[in-house]
Amino acid sequence: MLRKSLIVSLAIGAIILNSSYSIVSAADLPEVKILATGGTIAGSAPSNTQMTGYKAGALGVETLINAVPELKNIAVVSGEQISNIGSQDMTDDVWLKLAKRCNELLSDPDVKGIVITHGTDTLEETAYFLNLTVKSDKPVVLVGAMRPATAISADGPVNLLNAVKLAASPKAVGKGVLVALNDEINGARDVTKTNTSNVSTFKSPELGFLGYITDGEPYFYRETTRKHTKESEFDVDNLAKLPRVDIIYTHENDDRVLIDASVNAGAKGIIYAGSGMGSIHKDAEPGLVDAQKKGVVVVRSSRVGNGMVVANSEQYTKEHFLNGDTLNPQKARILLQLALTKTNDLNEIQRMFDEY
């Protein structure tokens, strides 16, 4: 009798399992593309205890996908190798290729989202560039890892699983380009790398991250008020190059030498990472004034890491220097590059800094 009921319940279990299997059959799962660019998430070290001094961008996208077979339960994933570099070597060429490929893929109604695997060093920059150049409200999620794929407790596989879950989630639609590491969701505009080695390196200082990913489920608590993706006026689909914009980082005993070098190198814009609220050293200022007179757009940013840079000085306003708001210097540089693809009008460029 007992045996008979066991067999019956096993049979019922098999039917339930079978039907739940058909609920998650590949035909019903969202399609997510993984674009791989390199980084520590694809890094390989000679031993599993080695956390630094490894080769970033050593493994291909198929290896990353195969290392997480659970991806098959949440999406139909397929990979493309865009580059395989340490992200400290990121270039405008790779960015343009990425943005164009994202726009192509997202125009396909079957593709529900994109995950980009990336080194963590410049991940925030690529995220903000795509935030301003991807023309879709479908999720685009950047993911990386702080420990190489060969490490004991590598963080790449779980980060990739979470990123695919996020890219496949309707909750992530319309939120702008997202960054998903260490169970947290950050927005592209405000996120920055804050620690050279810790897995909890990505933060949106003071303004805050957007949400958590817990047990593979995204939970959003806030969103950016700044324009992005579908609302963005920037379009790189027909561009082969971006204008040169340099960052000059101030310090005690600063002068105009690097500013002049930047102008001579053909910069169309300079981000001055000033002290405090974008303060400019008196010995550097004449260099910026001369650069501005030659048509180079000068934006004041700050090396502080938090807070706004606003029009706080009549002199700087008279000198036609623009204000970078809360963007860190590396993100102000991206917005100025894109702004310069559209206009040289200073009022227009300041408007962009106020809106994006």
Residues acting as catalytic residues: 40
By CB under 6 A, residue 86 contacts ligand ASP = yes
Interface segment toward ligand ASP; rule CB under 6 A; list 8-16, 94-102, 119-127, 319-327: 119-127
- In angstroms, the CA 133 to CA 131 distance is 6
Nearer to ligand ASP, 39 or 211 (CB): 39
Nearer to ligand ASP, 155 or 325 (CB): 155
Site string for ligand ASP, 188-227 (x = CB under 6 A): ----------------------------------------
Give the count of residues interacting with ligand ASP (CB under 6 A). Answer: 12
- Evaluated on CA atoms 205, 328, 250, 313, the torsion sign reads negative
DSSP per-residue letters across 54-94: -BSS-S-HHHHHHT-GGGGGT-EEEEEEEEEE-GGG--HHH
- In angstroms, the CA 208 to CA 214 distance is 18
By CB under 6 A, residue 161 contacts ligand ASP = no
Residues 274-313 close enough to bind ligand ASP by CB under 6 A: none
211-230 as b/e: b if 16+ CB within 10 A:
bebeebebeeeeebebbbbe
Contact yes or no for 88/144 (Cβ under 8 A): no
Residues 21-60 close enough to bind ligand ASP by CB under 6 A: 38-40, 56
Contact yes or no for 58/42 (Cβ under 8 A): yes
Interface segment toward ligand ASP; rule CB under 6 A; list 82-90, 234-242, 309-317, 341-349: 82-90
120-159 as b/e: b if 16+ CB within 10 A:
bbbbbbbbbbbbbbbbbbbbbbbbbbbbbbbbeebbbbbb
Burial environment of residue 323 by CB neighbours within 10 A (0 to 12, 13 to 18, 19 or more): buried
Rule CB under 6 A: choose which of 79, 139, 144, 176 binds ligand ASP. Answer: 144
Least distance in angstroms from the C-beta of 132 to ligand ASP: 21
Nearer to ligand ASP, 89 or 183 (CB): 89
What the block records as the tokens of 69 is 């077979």
Residues 223-252 close enough to bind ligand ASP by CB under 6 A: none
Nearer to ligand ASP, 84 or 103 (CB): 84
Least distance in angstroms from the C-beta of 21 to ligand ASP: 37
Rule CB under 6 A: choose which of 30, 79, 119, 278 binds ligand ASP. Answer: 119
Nearer to ligand ASP, 86 or 113 (CB): 86
Cβ neighbour number for residue 198 with a 10 Å cutoff: 10
Burial environment of residue 53 by CB neighbours within 10 A (0 to 12, 13 to 18, 19 or more): exposed
Rule CB under 6 A: choose which of 120, 133, 262, 302 binds ligand ASP. Answer: 120
By CB under 6 A, residue 159 contacts ligand ASP = no
The residues binding ligand ASP (CB under 6 A) are 38-40, 56, 86-88, 119-121, 144, 146
